[in-house]
């Protein structure tokens, strides 16, 4: 039996300027409808520029039952080393209906962020 997967863009790779906050994020991904998926894996990456941020950039993965009201699902972050790349993955629970990501928190210098979902589309 083969498991079918599909790559889904949650937060396209983009630069987040210094000085954003969780209540006013520097980047917000669009809502992804996960209701047709059988779970999956969320992959994330924070890339620092050649000038390190004073505080690391953060990504908060959020879920929602309706695509409008968002709750924090998992928060990850980078570091303060120049030119570093921090990445990882998080399991997407079967019950998540909608998913998005916000990026914020870095100070002094911009960071680049990216979030993707490897969605299980068939069993």
With DSSP H G I counted as helix, E B as strand and the rest as coil, what are the percentages for the chain, rounded to 5?
0, 55, 45
Question: Along the 123 residues of the chain, how does pLDDT read in single tens digits?
Answer: 689 999 999 999 999 999 999 999 999 999 999 999 999 999 999 999 999 999 999 999 999 999 999 999 999 999 999 999 999 999 998 889 999 999 999 999 999 999 999 999 998
Instruction: Give the Cα separation of 98 and 35 in Å (integer).
Output: 7
- Of 107, 110, 104, 115, the closest CA to residue 48 belongs to 110
Instruction: Give the Cα separation of 33 and 65 in Å (integer).
Output: 10
Question: Three-class SS of residue 77?
Answer: strand
All domains of the chain in start order, with CATH = 4-111+115-119 (2.60.120)
Q: Rounded to two decimals, what is the model's pTM?
A: 0.94
């Amino acid at each position: 039996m083969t498991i079918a997967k599909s790559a889904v863009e949650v937060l396209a790779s983009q630069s987040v300027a210094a000085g954003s906050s969780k209540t006013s994020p520097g980047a917000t991904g669009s809502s992804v409808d996960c209701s047709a998926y059988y779970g999956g894996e969320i992959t994330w990456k924070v890339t620092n520029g050649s000038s390190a941020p004073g505080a690391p950039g953060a990504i908060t993965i959020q879920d929602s039952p309706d695509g409008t009201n968002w709750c924090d699902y998992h928060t990850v972050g980078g570091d303060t080393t120049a030119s570093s790349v921090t990445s990882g993955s998080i399991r997407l629970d079967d019950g998540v209906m909608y998913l998005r990501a916000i990026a914020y928190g870095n100070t002094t210098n911009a960071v680049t962020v990216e979030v993707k979902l490897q969605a299980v589309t068939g069993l």
